């Protein structure tokens, strides 16, 4: 059976010693009073909730799955899920970072995201129920009318109701411009929606009284393609003006998908049969409105893989210390045992350190992104808000794709540490691998994320936002350029920063002649950019650790940080050289292959 310990110490290191979040909060009136003790106390309680309430349900949820009663269209979630959700609501957890105007606690996004990392380590499938509600809350908060906000937000904030995002249809996933669900305007200002959605996470369940579906559909006179898509809020139960539940709406679960992982989460086929909904935002501008939810969900998906990387690492580490097999090549290490623990073998260490470096690098990046969102929402200076918004937009596809790809590498490596036992269910490792696999696919596949990064966010504005991140790297290089102890961390990012500028210009030039060059280079490009970002955070973490060591702090935590940073730069970061080479191989080798693919 796997175990899970919330990584509170590392969270505190990133928040308070690297990012110094509370110093930043002093400039934000909403968060000026939030201190480190408060944050730490909340996360300690959050960690208990994750490890004691939802983690014990993870394996059961996987084996039991969700069940649909076809006659009533109701779904029963795995044993214990409902009770855990009730505790979550009772504890006020859904309200953590929500707006106090709607009953929220108004705490920073950093706190909420750190809590979600732990929930995802504990039980990704369960966490998706409240996770999607938070995205629905954000979309309605940003684009809902006052009436919609009054009706839906307080109950999403309290957790009494949950939310979904209904985009995908059988014939369209990536290309939402193809969607066919129709919305007919009614005399009373509402709309009747008809169509079929598939793959809707948390689309039906027994955890909450009502489900607030955010649905993309087309108005009768809508232009073709993505410019004719509108967003609607369609509740499972119609809501009366006083907020009480009315009649059952015409939105039903027609089936549940049988899938590779996240079995505890209901992936629903949703039938809209004249369901009553109201328009969110402007007609035909649904994708822009939905982007609020999609961006939140993309960061949320990165957090899912971060959570799985951490829990897989913890279990692989414990196993590697316990499992004895063969002797160390450099001579016996455990004389009292018939063989050495496998942690003595260099390649086992490589697998463990890969997962550790990706978990800790991912934690630093996602916390930084959360801090940027706090700035974007609450900083009094408009320029700071705008810069933060642009950086979040740049980093979002990296959080989504780089962290989920790393999660795939890390959970597989951790399973490998277990040898054959990793493949056997009772150890729980194969579930982490299976659960992680969807994170590379949904919320826009990782290929689509890389096209978003290179095509839209880098080449689309001539690298202007990338330069903003480049400035952060340059600042650190300037700060530490003369510090010999930091050279092993600073030199690689300084060099890659320079190479990236040339590399980006080169692809931009080729793309000018042939747009397929973007598609051919994008996936490799995102991974190189991911390493530049991770490299920057690993250098900052090494800087913070070195300062403590130089000041005589004997806490082995700092030594561990430096060792992991060294491993990261020596063994993982150098793949950037190979990736730039494969990206430079260009489109021809992929596209002039009709015979090969005939």
| By CB under 6 A, residue 445 contacts ligand FAD | yes
Hey, which residues between 16 and 75 contact ligand FAD (CB under 6 A)?
none
Q: Which residues contact 478 (CB under 8 A, 6 or more apart)?
A: none
Q: What share of the chain is helix, strand, coil (3-state, %, to 5)?
A: 65, 15, 25
| By CB under 6 A, residue 167 contacts ligand FAD | yes
**Nearest residue to 359 via CA among 544, 132, 50, 121:** 121
**Nearest residue to 384 via CA among 478, 464, 292, 468:** 468
Could you give the CA distance from residue 202 to residue 272 in angstroms, rounded to a whole number?
16
Q: In terms of CB distance, is 448 or 477 closer to ligand FAD?
A: 448
The residue range among 165-173, 352-360, 397-405, 537-545 that interacts with ligand FAD, by the rule CB under 6 A, is: 165-173
The residue range among 299-307, 308-316, 354-362, 435-443 that interacts with ligand FAD, by the rule CB under 6 A, is: 435-443
Q: Which two tokens stand for residue 188?
A: 């009373």
List the x/- string, 200-239, binding to ligand FAD by CB under 6 A. Answer: xx--------------------------------------
User: Which single residue brings its beta carbon nearest to ligand FAD?
Assistant: 173
279, 448, 454, 507: which one binds ligand FAD (CB under 6 A): 448
CA distances from 516 to 306, 503, 576 (A): 32, 16, 22
The residue range among 151-159, 164-172, 345-353, 466-474 that interacts with ligand FAD, by the rule CB under 6 A, is: 164-172
| By CB under 6 A, residue 109 contacts ligand FAD | no
> Smallest distance from the beta carbon of 579 to ligand FAD, in angstroms?
18
The residue range among 41-49, 347-355, 441-449, 500-508 that interacts with ligand FAD, by the rule CB under 6 A, is: 441-449
> Smallest distance from the beta carbon of 371 to ligand FAD, in angstroms?
27
> Smallest distance from the beta carbon of 432 to ligand FAD, in angstroms?
16
Q: Which residues contact 3 (CB under 8 A, 6 or more apart)?
A: 314, 315, 318
> Smallest distance from the beta carbon of 261 to ligand FAD, in angstroms?
8
| Strand 161-166 to 210-217 pairing | parallel
List the x/- string, 303-342, binding to ligand FAD by CB under 6 A. Answer: ----------------------------------------
**Nearest residue to 180 via CA among 219, 233, 236, 234:** 219
Q: In terms of CB distance, is 8 or 441 closer to ligand FAD?
A: 441
Q: In terms of CB distance, is 231 or 486 closer to ligand FAD?
A: 231
**Cβ pair 51, 122 in contact under 8 A:** yes
Judged on CB neighbours under 10 Å (0-12, 13-18, 19+), 482 is exposed
List the x/- string, 343-382, binding to ligand FAD by CB under 6 A. Answer: ----------------------------------------
| By CB under 6 A, residue 259 contacts ligand FAD | yes
428, 519, 530, 535: which one binds ligand FAD (CB under 6 A): 519
User: Locate tokens 């087309």: which residue?
Assistant: 218
Q: What are phi and psi of 273, to 5 degrees?
A: -120, 75
Within 13 A of 167's CA, how many CA atoms are on the CB side?
A: 21
**Cβ pair 125, 259 in contact under 8 A:** no
Q: In terms of CB distance, is 19 or 256 closer to ligand FAD?
A: 256
| By CB under 6 A, residue 166 contacts ligand FAD | yes
CA distances from 174 to 5, 217, 286, 441, 442 (A): 37, 15, 15, 10, 9
Catalytic residue among 376, 430, 443, 480: 443
> Smallest distance from the beta carbon of 510 to ligand FAD, in angstroms?
17
Q: What are phi and psi of 122, to 5 degrees?
A: -75, -40
- In a 3-state reduction of DSSP, which class is residue 510? helix
> Smallest distance from the beta carbon of 268 to ligand FAD, in angstroms?
9
Active site residue 282: no
User: Locate tokens 């955010």: which residue?
Assistant: 214
| By CB under 6 A, residue 165 contacts ligand FAD | yes
Q: Which helix (H) or strand (E) is 198 found in, with range? A: strand 191-201
Judged on CB neighbours under 10 Å (0-12, 13-18, 19+), 27 is middle
Give the angle subtended at the CA of 18 by the CAs of 17 and 20, to the nearest 5°. 70
137, 199, 368, 536: which one binds ligand FAD (CB under 6 A): 199
> Smallest distance from the beta carbon of 126 to ligand FAD, in angstroms?
14
**Cβ pair 193, 232 in contact under 8 A:** yes
| By CB under 6 A, residue 267 contacts ligand FAD | yes
174, 475, 483, 505: which one binds ligand FAD (CB under 6 A): 174
Q: Binding residues for ligand FAD, per CB under 6 A?
A: 165-168, 173-174, 199-201, 259, 267, 438, 441-445, 447-448, 451, 519
Active site residues: 443
């Amino acid at each position: 059976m796997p175990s899970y310990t919330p990584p509170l110490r590392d969270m505190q290191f990133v928040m308070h010693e690297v990012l110094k979040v509370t110093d930043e909060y002093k400039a934000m009136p909403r968060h000026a009073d939030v201190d480190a003790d408060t944050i730490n106390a909340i996360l300690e309680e959050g960690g208990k909730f994750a490890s004691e309430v939802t983690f014990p349900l993870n394996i059961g949820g996987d084996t039991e799955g969700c069940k649909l009663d076809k006659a009533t269209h109701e779904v029963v979630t795995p044993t214990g899920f409902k009770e855990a959700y009730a505790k979550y609501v009772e504890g006020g957890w859904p309200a953590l970072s929500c707006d106090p105007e709607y009953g929220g606690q108004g705490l920073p996004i950093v706190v909420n995201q750190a809590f979600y990392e732990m929930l995802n380590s504990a039980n990704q499938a369960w966490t998706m129920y409240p996770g999607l509600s938070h995205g629905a809350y954000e979309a309605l908060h940003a684009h809902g009318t006052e009436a919609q906000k009054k009706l839906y937000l307080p109950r999403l904030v309290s957790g009494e109701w949950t939310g979904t995002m209904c985009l995908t249809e059988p014939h369209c996933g990536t290309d939402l411009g193809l969607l066919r669900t129709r919305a007919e305007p009614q005399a009373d200002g509402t709309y009747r929606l008809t169509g079929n959605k598939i793959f809707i996470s948390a689309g039906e369940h027994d955890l909450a009284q009502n489900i607030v579906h955010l649905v993309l559909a087309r108005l009768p006179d809508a232009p073709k393609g993505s410019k004719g898509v509108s967003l609607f809020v369609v509740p499972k139960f119609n809501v009366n003006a006083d907020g009480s539940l009315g009649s059952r709406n015409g939105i039903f679960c027609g089936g549940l998908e049988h899938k590779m992982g996240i079995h505890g989460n209901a992936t629903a086929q949703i039938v809209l049969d004249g369901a009553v909904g109201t328009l969110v935002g402007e007609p035909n501008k649904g994708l822009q409105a939905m982007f609020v939810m999609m961006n939140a969900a993309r960061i949320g998906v990165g957090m899912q893989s971060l959570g799985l990387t951490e829990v897989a690492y913890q279990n692989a580490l414990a196993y590697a210390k316990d499992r004895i097999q063969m002797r160390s090549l450099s001579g016996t290490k455990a004389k009292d045992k018939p063989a050495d623990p496998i942690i003595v073998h260099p390649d086992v260490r490589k697998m463990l350190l890969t997962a550790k470096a990706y978990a800790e690098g991912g934690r630093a990046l996602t916390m930084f992104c959360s801090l940027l969102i706090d700035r974007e929402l609450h900083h009094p200076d408009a320029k700071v808000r705008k810069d933060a918004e642009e950086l979040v937009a740049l980093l979002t596809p990296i959080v989504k794709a780089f962290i989920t790809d790393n999660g795939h590498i890390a959970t597989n490596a951790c399973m490998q540490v277990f040898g054959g036992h990793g493949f056997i269910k009772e150890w729980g490792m194969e579930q982490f691998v299976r659960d992680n696999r969807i994170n590379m696919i949904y919320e826009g596949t990782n290929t689509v994320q890389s096209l978003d990064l290179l095509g839209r966010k880098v080449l689309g504005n001539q690298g202007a936002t990338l330069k903003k991140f480049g400035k952060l790297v340059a600042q650190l290089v300037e700060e530490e350029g003369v510090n010999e102890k930091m050279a092993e961390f600073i030199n690689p990012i300084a060099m890659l920063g320079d190479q990236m500028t040339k590399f980006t210009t080169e692809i931009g030039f080729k793309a000018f002649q042939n747009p397929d060059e973007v598609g051919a280079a994008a996936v490799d490009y995102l991974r190189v950019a991911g390493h530049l970002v991770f490299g920057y955070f690993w250098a900052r973490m090494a800087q913070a650790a070195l300062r403590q060591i130089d000041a005589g702090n004997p806490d082995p935590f700092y030594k561990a940080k430096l060792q992991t940073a060294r491993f990261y730069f020596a063994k993982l970061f150098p793949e950037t050289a190979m990736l730039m080479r494969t990206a430079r191989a260009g489109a021809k080798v992929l596209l002039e292959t009709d015979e090969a693919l005939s």
